[in-house]
């Protein structure tokens, strides 16, 4: 498995912490309930940074369940023993950090080179004025694969403004399909942090995550587009008069570098084929490696396919292609490429720390025995695991707002439910889709994405709740419905 994290050290039976007061499974469940309540309190009320909140809760849960300080952090003296905190943090970040870093740089090159504008303009001309909302939805769907959700909004918003101004219709008619496409890829497809982190925690090949992400995401986004078309005709939102184009530091850096070098980037426009080639190459390579391991006998050819389909190699190839096709061939200097790549990594630190802290939380749950107690209890409930995964993720999402926190926390709770069950990679990938679907349910005032949508498109809070919040509910519920259906046959 490409993304399997090292297992947390097995913990001996504990008698300390809260277990001294509430014995057995009841005590472990009390610790779990306390930990989740504390996490929500720290994030919602105290406004503590999610990374710090997750780490604090992980330590509290470990100590409350009776883990010793040595088990949590190791000893002061150097030794070969790996602590639970170290194994949890290092096991997940050892793989996730590389994928997210490469994917982020790839998205930045596509953004700064004008790939988004080329993609949207070609789709708009292809579909025509009447089907412009569909063109915007496809733009969000395709361009959302390599770029983060908020970056996609900042880059594509001017195109939405132009389409709405030209038609005289509600801004929602064009913004909502775009947002649905961006949200779907952000929730269901690598290299976005949520599905990549979940794949690492479950030990699932990214090829299966991509395949299930497409199978679940496409019907879900179609349902969301249907709602977008309906609400866009019922709420009129004008193009905001005070709209200001987002500052594009990377573009300014490229222009300055080129000017200093005494040469300007060539005016040759980026072709649609080039954009699709760069975006599609890593997906095709990863999927090819996944299916070759199933369909082909061990051979040199299969080894070559699996090498190029390794997520690290596939994304590196795509990034080098982008460097040449979208940068160097169009007159960019090496310094320009470095500037764009480096600046794109600035917002990634917070994401990686949150994902790593989620790995620590999962390792503490497992090492302390809390995860096994939760597993036994949830099995007794009688609900299918996919339903429990969606419900837990959706509840955490509504309570604290962050989709990433909802995914990594839910994964830490759900992984023990399926460990040792002999489940296939396809089923585990489908379970990740249930968690991802729950993580985007009902975006509201405690979610930063809610305010980005509201403020950037000039939508009132009330209309944002009617449009964006409900759109996310439709996308989430439709995703779960598809997962439930597929779980009957996978």
Q: Averaged over 5-24, what is the pLDDT?
A: 47
- 372 lies in which domain range? 79-490
Tally helices (H) and strands (E) across the chain: 23, 0
Q: Is residue 103 part of a domain?
A: yes
Query: Mean pLDDT: which of 89-98, 104-113, 210-219, 275-284 is highest?
Result: 210-219
Q: Averaged over 173-201, what is the pLDDT?
A: 94
Mean pLDDT (the chain) is 85
Q: Is residue 207 part of a domain?
A: yes
pLDDT tens string 391-437: 999 998 988 888 888 999 899 889 988 988 889 999 999 999 999 99
Q: Is residue 28 part of a domain?
A: no
Q: Is residue 454 part of a domain?
A: yes
Measured torsion, CA atoms of residues 293, 294, 295, 298, in degrees rounded to the nearest 10: 40
- How far apart CA 479 and CA 215 sit, in angstroms, is 10
pLDDT tens string 122-150: 888 888 888 999 999 999 999 999 888 88
- SS3 of 289, please? helix
For residue 374 the two structure tokens come to 């939760």
CA distances 344 to 110, 213, 253, 330, 337, Å, are 11, 25, 12, 20, 11
pLDDT value of position 203: 92
The number of folded domains in the chain is 1
Q: Averaged over 361-378, what is the pLDDT?
A: 81
Q: Is residue 2 part of a domain?
A: no
Number of neighbours of residue 319 by Cβ within 10 angstroms: 24
Q: Is residue 421 part of a domain?
A: yes
Q: Is the pLDDT of residue 156 over 70?
A: yes
- How far apart CA 205 and CA 348 sit, in angstroms, is 23
Contact 204, 441 (CB under 8 A): no
- How far apart CA 156 and CA 111 sit, in angstroms, is 10
pLDDT tens string 299-344: 999 999 999 999 999 999 999 999 999 999 888 888 889 998 998 8
Predicted confidence band of residue 253 (pLDDT cuts 50, 70, 90): low
pLDDT value of position 15: 42
Q: Is residue 9 part of a domain?
A: no
CA distances 153 to 116, 143, 172, 312, Å, are 11, 10, 14, 27
Number of neighbours of residue 121 by Cβ within 10 angstroms: 17
Per mean pLDDT, which range of 158-162, 173-177, 484-488 is the poorest?
158-162
- How far apart CA 158 and CA 176 sit, in angstroms, is 14
Q: Is residue 1 part of a domain?
A: no
């Amino acid at each position: 498995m490409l993304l399997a994290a090292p297992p947390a050290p097995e913990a001996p039976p504990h008698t300390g912490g809260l277990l001294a007061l509430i014995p057995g499974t009841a005590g472990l469940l009390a610790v779990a309930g306390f930990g989740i309540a504390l996490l929500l309190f720290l994030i919602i009320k105290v406004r503590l940074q999610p990374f710090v909140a997750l780490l604090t809760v992980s330590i509290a849960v470990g100590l409350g369940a009776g883990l010793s300080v040595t088990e949590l952090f190791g000893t002061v003296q150097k030794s070969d023993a790996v602590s639970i905190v170290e194994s949890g943090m290092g096991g997940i970040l050892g793989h996730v950090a590389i994928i997210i870093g490469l994917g982020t740089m790839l998205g930045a090159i596509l953004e700064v080179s004008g790939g988004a504008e080329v993609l949207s303009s070609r789709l708009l001309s292809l579909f025509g004025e009447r089907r412009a909302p569909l063109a915007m939805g496809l733009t969000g769907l395709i361009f959302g694969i390599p770029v983060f959700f908020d970056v996609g909004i900042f880059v594509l918003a001017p195109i939405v403004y132009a389409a709405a101004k030209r038609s005289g219709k509600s801004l929602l008619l064009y913004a909502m399909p775009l947002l649905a496409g961006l949200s779907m890829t952000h929730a269901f497809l690598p290299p976005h942090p949520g599905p990549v982190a979940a794949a690492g925690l479950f030990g699932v090949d990214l090829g299966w995550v991509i395949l299930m992400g497409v199978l679940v995401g496409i019907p879900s986004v179609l349902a969301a587009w249907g709602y977008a078309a309906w609400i866009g005709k019922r709420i009129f939102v004008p193009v905001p008069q005070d709209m200001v184009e987002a500052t594009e530091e990377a573009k300014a850096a490229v222009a300055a570098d080129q000017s200093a070098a005494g040469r300007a980037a060539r005016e040759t426009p980026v072709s649609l084929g080039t954009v699709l080639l760069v975006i599609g190459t890593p997906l095709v390579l990863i999927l090819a490696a996944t299916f070759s391991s199933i369909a082909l006998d061990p051979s040199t050819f299969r080894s070559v396919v699996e090498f190029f389909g390794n997520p690290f190699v596939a994304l590196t190839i795509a990034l080098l292609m982008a460097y040449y096709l979208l940068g160097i061939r169009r007159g960019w200097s090496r310094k320009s490429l470095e500037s764009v790549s480096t600046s794109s990594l600035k917002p990634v630190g917070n994401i990686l720390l949150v994902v790593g802290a989620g790995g620590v939380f999962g390792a503490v749950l497992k090492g302390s025995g809390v995860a096994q107690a939760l597993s036994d209890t949830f099995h007794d409930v009688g609900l299918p695991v996919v339903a429990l995964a969606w419900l837990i993720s959706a509840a955490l999402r509504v309570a604290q707002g962050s989709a990433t926190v909802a995914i990594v926390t839910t994964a830490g709770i759900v992984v023990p439910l399926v460990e040792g069950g002999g489940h296939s990679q396809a089923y585990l990938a489908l379970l990740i889709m249930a968690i991802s679907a729950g993580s985007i349910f009902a975006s509201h005032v405690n979610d930063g994405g809610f305010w980005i949508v509201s403020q950037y498109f000039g939508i009132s809070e009330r209309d944002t709740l009617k449009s964006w919040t409900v759109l996310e509910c439709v996308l989430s519920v439709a995703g779960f419905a598809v997962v439930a259906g597929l779980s009957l046959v996978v």
